[in-house]
Amino acid sequence: MKHTDIRELFAHTDGYADTTVTVCGWVRTARDSKNVAFLEVNDGTSFRNLQIVVDKSRSSEETVREAMDAMAVGTSLTATGRLVTSERNGCELELETLTVLGKCPAEYPLQKKRHTQEFLRTIPHLRIRTRYFEAVFAVRDQLAQAVHAYFHSHGYRYVHAPIITGSDCEGAGEMFRVTTQPWNASYESEEAYYADDFFGKKAGLTVSAQLEGEMAAMGLGRIYTFGPTFRAEHSNTTRHLAEFWQIEPEVCFADIDDIIGIAEEFIKSIIKSVMENCPDELAFFDQWVEKGLIDKLNHVLNSDFGRVDYTDAIEILQKSGKDFKYPVSWGCDLQTEHERYLTDEYFAKPLFVVNYPKDIKAFYMKQNPDGKTVAATDLLVPGIGEIIGCSEREADLEKLTAAMTARNMPLDAYEQYLDTRRFGTVPHSGFGLGFDRMLMYVTGVGNIRDTLLFPRTVGTL
Ligand code: 4AD
Ligand code: MG
């Protein structure tokens, strides 16, 4: 259908002013009075709606009739008219002709201007038509483009890691199984059962692309992956999904300090890109979702992230005088309440917590000389907690296999991974950024279920 995007009309109003244009879209709101009617139309290309003005005294009877037919919220239409500049709206369309493409009866659930997020979660297929989700998805898109732009301009290769895999990277037992086999009780053992399955062995959905990423980096130097990640976590929280998106760079010849520097530069770069390219959406979030959001993001861009040793963080928490639900002692994993105290109250900015106890972290992390900690860091941000898990990798074959054996991991399943340490091992580091959590941080959206189209969480598909 020949028409002009509404985005284009707002972007180049001067060029279109006083010419006849055709637009397509859906009615977001409509107002009618005796002499004039207004239809606010959105076609998905622009966060701003285009106002169509129906001057009843100057329009043909048929045009008025069609326009009245289009007054129901959600109606799809195509409209032609003269584009005029408007002080209030930038530009408006003075209607000449209008055709309803699809009617929208009163059962359409999105009648009100604002609905609760809880209600909208029950209609994920329709909520994408609201301003809130339009803004979320504009920023989500921009953030993704910015991720690729950052790595591309810094000499990283974008690689695609498999989604179906046989190895569990995080070792937390949260893998979803992939199978084509119906249940059958006649097998003698688990192995025999899996041997008959599609791949001839047990398979699952990836919890992280890191291990494949490390192997790729050994040939390509610097790589990143950006793909879906799956975890059968039973955490029913505002920041856990069963299917989320993760960005995982892997960098050879980089130690823990190098990768922390890269992570900070990267986070700032993608925030800056959103601020430059999505000003209307951020203004919306600042007004309706998180007051002060734009100031917060500016502050993040213009200050250094904090850095604290895990051991010191424990001391800060112990001296905080706070009545935490989970008690704090050296060796404990930081709970959300602890992370929030550190980022929201004590440091009041993004914070790298460095050198965690080895027993609460994954097998692949570089063992520090103290024998107790690993060169690992989590980036915590105010309001959310952990958005990045990061570490220097253990490059020494013997130390690595010792850590795996201590965790009862089957070494034979990781033979290819161990070859990275056998053949030309190098110091290398990487991290994983939870993309959906990052989107929460830049928009102020408070529940991770509101960052993607069809969120998957325990019990909800
Ligand atoms: O800290 P995680 O588990 O780290 C890894 O997977 C490493 N292999 C990454 C690497 O070094 N290449 O996960 C990384 C990030 C977390 O910081 C968090 O932001 C996000 O992934 N994440 C989740 N996001 C949503 N829902 C979940 N269930 C998540 N689990 C982790
Ligand atoms: Mg983590």
User: 317: CA distance to ligand 1 center in Å?
Assistant: 24
Nearest atom in ligand 1 to the alpha carbon of residue 207 is 6
Write out the residues surrounding ion ligand 2, Cβ under 5 A: 389
Q: Is 134 touching ligand 1 by the criterion CB < 6 Å?
A: no
CA-to-CA separations, 277 to 95, 144, 198, in angstroms, rounded: 31, 12, 46
Q: Is 69 touching ligand 1 by the criterion CB < 6 Å?
A: no
Token pair recorded at residue 40: 């606010």
Residue nearest to atom 7 of ligand 1 (CA): 432
Digit-coded pLDDT (tens) for 360-411: 999 999 999 999 999 999 999 999 999 999 999 999 999 999 999 999 999 9
Backbone angles phi, psi at 460, to 5 degrees: -130, 120
Q: Is 311 exposed, middle or buried (0-12, 13-18, 19+ CB in 10 A)?
A: middle
For the domain made up of 131-172+207-450, give the CATH fold.
BirA Bifunctional Protein; domain 2 (3.30.930)
What is the pTM assigned to this prediction? Answer: 0.96
User: 381: CA distance to ligand 1 center in Å?
Assistant: 14
Q: What average pLDDT does this structure show over 290-301?
A: 97
Confidence of residue 67 (pLDDT cuts 50, 70, 90): very high
Q: Is 204 touching ligand 1 by the criterion CB < 6 Å?
A: no
The DSSP code for 458 is T
Q: Is 246 touching ligand 1 by the criterion CB < 6 Å?
A: yes
Q: What angle do CA 145, 148, 154 make, to 5 degrees?
A: 140
pLDDT higher than threshold 80 for residue 171 = no
pLDDT higher than threshold 80 for residue 172 = no
Confidence of residue 236 (pLDDT cuts 50, 70, 90): confident
- The predicted pLDDT at position 158 comes to 98
Backbone angles phi, psi at 432, to 5 degrees: -125, 120
Q: Is 339 touching ligand 1 by the criterion CB < 6 Å?
A: no
Residue nearest to atom 21 of ligand 1 (CA): 434
User: 290: CA distance to ligand 2 center in Å?
Assistant: 25
User: 42: CA distance to ligand 1 center in Å?
Assistant: 36
Q: What average pLDDT does this structure show over 245-270?
A: 98
Confidence of residue 40 (pLDDT cuts 50, 70, 90): very high
Q: Is 169 touching ligand 1 by the criterion CB < 6 Å?
A: yes
Digit-coded pLDDT (tens) for 180-235: 988 777 888 888 888 999 999 899 999 999 999 999 999 999 999 999 999 998 88
- The predicted pLDDT at position 186 comes to 84
pLDDT higher than threshold 80 for residue 42 = yes
The string of DSSP letters for 162-181 reads -SEES--SS-SS-PPEE--P
Q: Is 380 touching ligand 1 by the criterion CB < 6 Å?
A: no
Q: Is 226 touching ligand 1 by the criterion CB < 6 Å?
A: no
Residue nearest to atom 31 of ligand 1 (CA): 434
User: 188: CA distance to ligand 1 center in Å?
Assistant: 36
Structural domain boundaries in the chain: 6-108, 131-172+207-450
Percent of the chain with pLDDT over 90: 90
Nearest atom in ligand 1 to the alpha carbon of residue 248 is 12
Q: Is 434 touching ligand 1 by the criterion CB < 6 Å?
A: yes
For the domain covering 6-108, report its CATH number.
2.40.50.140
Ligand nearest to the CA of 360: 2
